Structure 1
Amino acid sequence: MSFDLTARLAERRAAHLYRQRPLLETPQGVRVVVDGQPLLAFCNNDYLGLANDPEVIEAFVAGARTWGVGGGASHLVVGHSTPHHQLEEALAEFTGRPRALLMSSGYMANLGAVTALVGQGDTVLEDRLNHASLLDAGLLSGARFSRYLHNDISSLTSRLAKATGNTLVVTDGVFSMDGDLADLPAVCAAARAKDAWVMVDDAHGFGCLGRQGGGIVEHYGLDVKDVPVLIGTLGKAFGTAGAFIAGSEELIETLIQFARPYIYTTSQPPAVACATLKSLQILREQSWRREHLNRLIAQFRAGVSDLGLQLMDSPTPIQPIVMGSSERAIAVSAALRERGILVTAIRPPTVPRGTARLRVTLCAAHSESDVAQLLDALKQAIAAVPECE
């Protein structure tokens, strides 16, 4: 018996689920060249336009000159440099928590936190639409794992009643494929009633939500008692790379001792931490970026409504338009590209079957005329692509 990889790939192609990597030939931004074609992009997660910001770039370059280009070792050996420590302290202050811990990626932050906190005899309860990294973390933890219906507090409560051992309730803050917010106050209340902890992955909330960009916890006025474990990624609104976990002194020390993705991974380049310190400063001080972004969101939602398309209930820069079939989502995405617009088609298994969509993401670097151009191209693309059976 051998691995029939050819058949697996052919099956994926036939189902319109085959994925290919677009080749980005310019720095990240709203105007890019992809596979040789100039395009106006509405598909990255650089929500505040910081990935190619001159100040952030200069901080990175200065950091590289001072600290070199590699972490060199794991944090627990000799890879924990001064910029890493400074960034952890700044992120702790930013989130209003005693400590923060840098991780090399959001995926590793989620794996590390969940698997360090729960195991056999414990319970992990997760929103059905959580990011894959959260679902994988729950499965790998060895704890009893269950998924409650999306944003359904009664479903969560019924599962809490059956929980055993230490119980961790895990949710995205902003759901990455729908763009909606977790009903976090209700989640925290339900968890508190059963003496469970709440962990929030706010990858898409930081920078966009809250008066100072503090994410969904700031948006709802919650604190470390409500959400003991708070995860953020740095490759989205922060514009750099990596992730962090913020919480109590005891939480961070526990993760340092027991989180395998932290212990056994080389630290990120110190220069990245230097760049992130600058982007964090910009994120907090330049509120005009969030204000402009919110105006673009309102403009886009009004325009899509006028086109009669099915737009998901999202107050965030993530604005998915449901196409239904994967075939139609691919076709409309291709039609947009022919008109100079880059919007990615998102298909199963990333989203549930029958809900393939165009995942439009807006950025503070977009202008109102950019959004108007997108709406016009969308109208033309929809008209050009017939409904799929």
Structure 2
Amino acid sequence: MLSDLALWRMYAAALAGHAGVAGNDVFSVAGAATFSGLGNADAQVGNWCTYQLGDGIPAAAGVYAPHSGLFAAYWLCLSYLVESAAGQPALLRAAAGTGSLQADLARYRQAVRAWRPGPPMPAGVNAAANAMAPAQAHQALLAALGERVPALTAALNRCLLASQQEASDLNMAASLYAAGVVFRCPQYALDGWPAGLAAWRAAPAGGATAWSVSLPPPALAALAGAAPAAALPAAGSWPSFLGLQGAGGAAVADAINAAPLAAMVEGAPNGLPDGVNGLALSLGGFGVFALTPGSWFDAGLLDGGQAALPAGAPDFFGAAGALALLPTGAVIGYQPRIALRAGSPHQAQALAASLTRVGPFAVQGAAQDAPGAVACRGCNGTEVSFDGSGSDVPVLLGVISKPVS
């Protein structure tokens, strides 16, 4: 049978291969169907999802889970680049008469760290009582710097404008839900997405298949060894591939998650012990859509992760740094259909009754409000079928990122 480790590994590798993930790019496979707002008729809800996708810098391994935000991390990094530039003796002498530059930078960073995107706070609520407002801290810092670091002050100005609620070409209107409070967040684009989704929705339901895969593939061992680094799950670091509920769920889980990949490849006849023997997945729509930040972002200032930072600065560009990766593409699917191959008819029936999720795809009935859920269509011998061909909700399959250095 196939363990969770094996299922995630093969599924992630197959997705990454079809999406064209290559070189040093990192593929973070989605562990749950999320970002259903990308298909919302309210463009401002879609903008909020685009912001979250573009801004979320994934951890370097495991399922897709942002561990830092690009906009805030970049803005904070700029303040350290200013400090590094201010280390030049001429600039320090010139700034001496305007007060403590270090104190201005400390207040500025406090304001940047306190900034959050989202609807305005209610009147009288101060979410950062000990921080200066970003605009105030910004003006104080720029007064100390004068015209001495024009490229960095221009970049700081762009970040401030992007963070404000006043409309500009550096931010965009967003809403958490349809007809909700409208606010502005930093600009990101998901290139080609509106046209791509419209084409999927215009196609007949259950029509042509955009992509299909059967797991395990014939060259199982080769595929398992070829997965990108981010697609190689460590034991215990990923959710179960098969979500189960009910009194028998734990027993079913124990039965299907017992075999490591090595045993699966080298153990029982045909390489697969008896149990859950594989699955077939097909999608009515499949696409890779480029994620790009607005013109508030200047990658050149980061110098490929080699930008000069002062002593004591955070390790922005290290493997676990807040700017270690830059999201460059979203892999999105549409109308999934799944056939799960069990080890016996009895196990197939148990799975049909207990499954709440297959990989990132929620099962209808077990999770009514899940985006892009698939409905169980019952068993045919050892095969359990799930069908999402009637859904018009797109499903995030993963995010592609590039190392900043």
Same fold (TM over 0.5): no
Per residue, is there more helix in 1 or in 2? 1
Band the TM-score falls in, shorter-chain normalisation: under 0.3
Bigger Cα Rg: 2
Per residue, is there more strand in 1 or in 2? 2
Q: With structure 1 as the length reference, what TM-score do the two structures score? A: 0.21
Higher relative contact order (CA 8 A, sep 6+): 2
Q: With structure 2 as the length reference, what TM-score do the two structures score? A: 0.21
